[in-house]
Structure 1
Amino acid sequence: MFGLHYKLERTAIGLVIAIIAVASIGGFVEIAPLFTIDETVESDPDMRLYTPLELAGRDIYMREGCYACHSQMIRTLRDEVDRYGPYSLAVESQYDHPHLWGSKRTGPDLARLGGKYSDAWHVAHLINPRDVVAESNMPRYGWLAETILRSDDLGLHLRAMQRVGVPYTEEMIANATQDAHAQANPAASTTQGVTERYGEETNIRAFDGDPQRLTEMDALVAYLQILGQLTDAPFQTAMED
């Protein structure tokens, strides 16, 4: 075996061919499963879309590097399911560009965070994490509550997502800014449009406690409250298992 290796090392062309052959095996192992992707990845016709406000919150989540300490993927291991809930399915991330599965957990996994805590808890936690979790080493994000969310370009954000396959309609794109403000202000006359476009289960409330201002805190809390709530598929799968 070593004799063959030594001979290959002395022959440049032979060594190159051997490297290509070995690399091809690895490439085939990675590529072959993609030919059966339609059979292996779940689908859910009732999958909900991120609202403009939730999408803006997701952008803030990425901007602040939250994905570096929090994963959004529950593995199939028993202890993970017991701690966080049903394991993650591929269908849950079909509208995520990029996906935020992550692998490092300085903080807990957030895949099933939506609805677990109140909006007030999230606001307090983001302003000063140690007020609600004494041992937390998470940085403070209090300025989010004082920073007005830029909303005039939300239609462009939806347009970008549409171009990579997210089924946002032209109506959704045209009303993106209005819908973001309405979702965080239950008294607004345009809230009905939000539920018509994104579904009756859409969270509509003043996420940061102040319906008169649309802040980055509103957006981030709206996003956190929808994590794990876009589809019921994982819970249905858990019941079947």
Structure 2
Amino acid sequence: MPELFHRKIERTAIGFVLAIIAAASVGGLVEIAPLFTIHETVEEAPDMRLYTPLELAGRNIYEREGCYACHSQMIRTLRDDVERYGPYSLAVESKYDHPMLWGSKRTGPDLARIGGKYSDLWHVTHLMNPRDVVPESNMPSYRFLARTPLETADFGMQLAAMREVGVPYTDDMIANAARDALGQATPDSDFSAGVVERYGEKTQVSAFDGVATELTEMDALVAYLQVLGRLTDAAYKQTAASEKAPGSQQ
């Protein structure tokens, strides 16, 4: 009986079109309906800070090189995930990610909380030749990043574009984008204080690639990796609160 109905629908153009519309409508409803309650489902994170221009540039490089194809940035609620990588990912942690880079494949480990786990030198060594620190790694080398100057002329426009999609960059941040990128990677420069003033005391100012005389793509990528999981403490606070709640397992 189902087979006869299916064949009948296929031979009736109007009926088949209506069936397609109905199926697509159900799928669309399932995807769209949750958006009406998004303000109720996204957690509050008053301490959430923005990506600096240098970190945003690093994110663009991460995306350009396809790093998301092998590394996810979403820790599941599964026990194995939490025990290996830390608190599971919250929606608010991707609040300013356009596009999101959650990923779904783990040829390499999840990077959602990689920030601060290793030193800048470790990241540089790993990117120069992954097998120097992880002998079994099949990740390609990214030596060229260390010798590729970082183009900063359009950083202001990049921040302005992010503001158009809801990231609250101020006029001051946009106007000083190129200087802030340089200041974050050169601790002894006149610009380093400005980036901390605009983006907060938790902003890491460092010669990320080990060379303070030149701004490179390696600086940007390492700066981005070092901030992953550190834009807000919301996940750690939620974990601590759940552990203290009555009836929770200690």
Report the TM-score when normalising by structure 2: 0.92
Deviation at 1:32, TM superposition (A): 1.8
CA distance in 2, matches of 1:9, 1:146: 60
1:22 aligns with 2:9: no
CA distance in 2, matches of 1:64, 1:10: 47
1:88 aligns with 2:68: no
Which residue number in structure 1 is paired with residue 150 of structure 2? 149
CA distance in 2, matches of 1:134, 1:178: 38
Structure 1's 193 and 4: CA in aligned 2 closer, same or farther, altered over 3 A? same
Letter in 2 for 1:17: L
Deviation at 1:10, TM superposition (A): 4.1
1:224 aligns with 2:225: yes
Please tell me the root mean square deviation across aligned C-alpha atoms, in Å: 1.3
Which residue number in structure 2 is paired with residue 50 of structure 1? 51
User: Structure 2, unaligned stretches of length 5 or more?
Assistant: 243-250
Deviation at 1:24, TM superposition (A): 2.3
CA distance in 1, matches of 2:85, 2:91: 17
Same amino acid, percent of matched pairs: 71
CA offsets 1:134-183 (integer angstroms, 9 cap, x no match): 00000001111111111122111111111111100010011111111111
Which residue number in structure 1 is paired with residue 170 of structure 2? 169
**Bigger shift: 143-152 or 99-108?**
143-152
Which residue number in structure 1 is paired with residue 161 of structure 2? 160
Which residue number in structure 1 is paired with residue 75 of structure 2? 74
Deviation at 1:6, TM superposition (A): 4.1
CA offsets 1:80-125 (integer angstroms, 9 cap, x no match): 0000000001101111111100001110000000000000000100
CA distance in 2, matches of 1:24, 1:169: 40
How is 1:1-150 mapped onto 2 (pairs within 5 angstroms)?
Answer: 1-2=1-2, 3-150=4-151
**Bigger shift: 150-159 or 122-131?**
150-159
Deviation at 1:15, TM superposition (A): 3.1
Deviation at 1:59, TM superposition (A): 0.9
CA distance in 2, matches of 1:18, 1:177: 54
Aligned structure 1 segments of 4 or more residues deviating by more than 3 angstroms: 3-11
How many aligned positions are there?
241
